[in-house]
Amino acid sequence: MSKTYRVNEIFFSVQGEGMRVGTANLFLRFTGCNETCRIETHGFDCDTEFASGRDMTIDDIIAQLRETGPTCDWIVLTGGEPGLQVDRELIDALHAADFKLAIETNGSIELPAGIDWVTVSPKVAEHAIRQRTADEVKYVRGYGQGIPKTVVQAEYKLISPAFSGDQLDARTLDWCVMLVKENPDWRLSVQMHKAWRVR
């Protein structure tokens, strides 16, 4: 029997944050996460539904990706936590099907090699971060939270103001603007897909 992956959804949209903002991507969203982000512990409440899903083989996944975004050759692997499921077999199969791969991970799991663009958005304490190299590292910051002392080696370091649902709080944005002004090796990254009303 063919191996399956638990997939929450596949959709075609525009990347709303990070250094790849504004580019068209297929999003392959996996079921399940190993974290529980809450405002009391993380400065924001997780607003992602990652409990539901269906089992798909690699062939099922590629067929649905091609049907969903026939013009697109970039896939964002996301979740939940995609590192719970993404493995070398899937990476190789998607590359063989001529896709390029980005991933958005909470950093708690060391990823297989070969992913073309790695975004680590830590949701665990620094000592618990296992994926310590990335193209970009992105921290969500709520009002009053300081600049991170990250263990992740990344070309780009980003601060993302916490949203409350679909709303960006002006005080939190002002706080994050202040953080990047005082720490010029960090950049501001706002979740523009929420403002653009795209998924």
Q: Write down the least CB distance from residue 50 to ligand SF4, Å.
A: 6
Task: Assign 159 to helix, strand or coil.
Answer: strand
Q: Per CB under 6 A, which region of 2-10, 77-85, 92-100, 109-117 contacts ligand SF4?
A: 77-85
Query: Nearest 10 degrees: CA dihedral of 92, 93, 96, 98?
Result: -110
The yes or no reply on residue 84 touching ligand SF4 (CB under 6 A) is no
Interatomic CA distance for residues 107 and 118, integer angstroms: 10
The yes or no reply on residue 81 touching ligand SF4 (CB under 6 A) is yes
The yes or no reply on residue 17 touching ligand SF4 (CB under 6 A) is no
The yes or no reply on residue 120 touching ligand SF4 (CB under 6 A) is no
Strand 24-30 and strand 5-14: pairing? antiparallel
Residue 41 identity: T
Interatomic CA distance for residues 47 and 14, integer angstroms: 19
Contact 106, 119 (CB under 8 A): no
Q: Closer CB to ligand SF4, residue 46 or residue 192?
A: 46
Q: Closer CB to ligand SF4, residue 69 or residue 80?
A: 80
Of 23-52, which residues contact ligand SF4 (CB under 6 A)? Answer: 33, 35-37, 46, 48, 50
Of 16, 53, 69, 79, the residue at the interface with ligand SF4 (CB under 6 A) is 79
Q: State the DSSP H helix or E strand holding residue 123, giving kind and residue range, or none if neither.
A: none
Of 15, 25, 106, 145, the residue at the interface with ligand SF4 (CB under 6 A) is 106
The yes or no reply on residue 159 touching ligand SF4 (CB under 6 A) is no
Q: Write down the least CB distance from residue 192 to ligand SF4, Å.
A: 18
Contact 159, 189 (CB under 8 A): yes
Contact 12, 29 (CB under 8 A): no
Residue 86 identity: V
Contact 137, 150 (CB under 8 A): yes
Q: Closer CB to ligand SF4, residue 41 or residue 133?
A: 41
The yes or no reply on residue 53 touching ligand SF4 (CB under 6 A) is no
The yes or no reply on residue 19 touching ligand SF4 (CB under 6 A) is no
The residues that touch ligand SF4, with contacts defined as CB under 6 A, are 33, 35-37, 46, 48, 50, 79-81, 106, 123
